Amino acid sequence: MIVSEQLVSNLFYGALLGSVYGVATMGLSLIFGVLRIVNVGHGAFIMLGAFTAFWMFTLYSVIPILSIPIALIFGLALGFIIFFSTIKRLIDAPELSTLLATFAIGIFIEEVAKFVWGSDYVGFSWDIGTLYLGPVTVPYTKLLAFLCSAIIAGLLYVWFTKTKLGTAIRAVVEDREGAMVCGINVGRIYSVSFAIGIGLTVLSGVLVTLFVPVGINVYMGPDYTLKAFVIAVLGGLGSPWGAFVAGFLFGLFENGSYTLLGLIPGVEPFALTRFVAFVFLLIILLIKPTGLLGGE
């Protein structure tokens, strides 16, 4: 049947995209987990990553996969700069201040980006063939994006569990005061976590370009911010791993629901899918604010 084939194909696509969503949300969750700050300007960093990939490809013919480390380094540097110029002074400030500051930072980045790249939609196409698997057709680039996401998440996991710094970060997420008592330099953990969070987010922007070949725009961010919020909450705010898994699920949900809602006459499946996503968000927040995938 056509619908079921379409559903399978869309779900497959959703799974690939979902892994990218996962990486794109891990930074948000990490920053919230460690600093208790919601980065409302999150999407702007994804946009920066997307433009990094775009520029590298169109100006220097660097394929997006190779832009990943470049975006990461760019993001890390940016993360440190932002941390030491503003975030550092807002660590214990009320929510109002941090929400507003991160929002303003996002706007600032967008407006500077507009100077550099203009406000038109741009894109590039990197074609390395397509895989045919029964009803499913996938460009290899998207498979590659999936692979990269999985590797990045895996590397991060190893780094978090096996290195001293990673362990210290987890300790701070668990219990700030306790970590301080144990002699962990919490100030350093804040700056490093913030930078890694931003680095990851900029990096994820590169992966995003493999899914939205012509959707690169300086104002593309807020859409991703909202998605990242839903995903982060689903995965348990503050848990990067939860975020990765939740991203994956969200990709499946988004594409599955889009296909199914499209069958109902007289509705806009795209808008309704989002409506359903936000309803989910509210339900999760109310029933289990620590996230469906989170622990206690």
Q: Does 173 bind other proteins (CB under 8 A)?
A: no
For residues 195 and 197, give the distance between their C-alpha atoms in angstroms, rounded to a whole number. 5
**29, 156 Cβ separation under 8 angstroms:** no
> Residue 20: which of 287, 231, 221 has the closest Cα?
231
> Residue 115: which of 218, 42, 46, 43 has the closest Cα?
218
Q: Does 116 bind other proteins (CB under 8 A)?
A: no
Q: Is 1 helix (H, G, I), strand (E, B) or coil?
A: coil
Q: Does 93 bind other proteins (CB under 8 A)?
A: yes
Q: Does 222 bind other proteins (CB under 8 A)?
A: yes
Q: Is 61 helix (H, G, I), strand (E, B) or coil?
A: coil
Please, what is the minimum distance in Å from the beta carbon of residue 282 to other proteins?
5
Q: Does 118 bind other proteins (CB under 8 A)?
A: no
Q: Does 121 bind other proteins (CB under 8 A)?
A: no
Q: Does 122 bind other proteins (CB under 8 A)?
A: no
- Length of the chain equals 296
Q: Does 5 bind other proteins (CB under 8 A)?
A: no
Q: Does 99 bind other proteins (CB under 8 A)?
A: yes
Measured from the CB atom, is 77 or 281 closer to other proteins?
Answer: 281
Out of 8, 62, 90, 147, name the contact with other proteins by CB under 8 A: 90
Out of 77, 107, 186, 212, name the contact with other proteins by CB under 8 A: 107
DSSP string covering 162-195: HSHHHHHHHHHHH-HHHHHHTT--HHHHHHHHHH
**70, 76 Cβ separation under 8 angstroms:** no
- Report the Cα 74 to chain-centroid distance in Å: 16
For residues 123 and 102, give the distance between their C-alpha atoms in angstroms, rounded to a whole number. 27
Q: Does 285 bind other proteins (CB under 8 A)?
A: yes
Return the DSSP state at 127.
Answer: -
Residues between 17 and 56 that touch other proteins (CB under 8 A): 32, 36, 38, 40
Please, what is the minimum distance in Å from the beta carbon of residue 25 to other proteins?
13
Which residues here bind other proteins, judged by CB under 8 A?
Answer: 32, 36, 38, 40, 86, 89-90, 93-97, 99-101, 103-105, 107-108, 110-112, 114-115, 222, 226, 229-230, 233, 237, 266-275, 278-279, 281-282, 285-286, 289
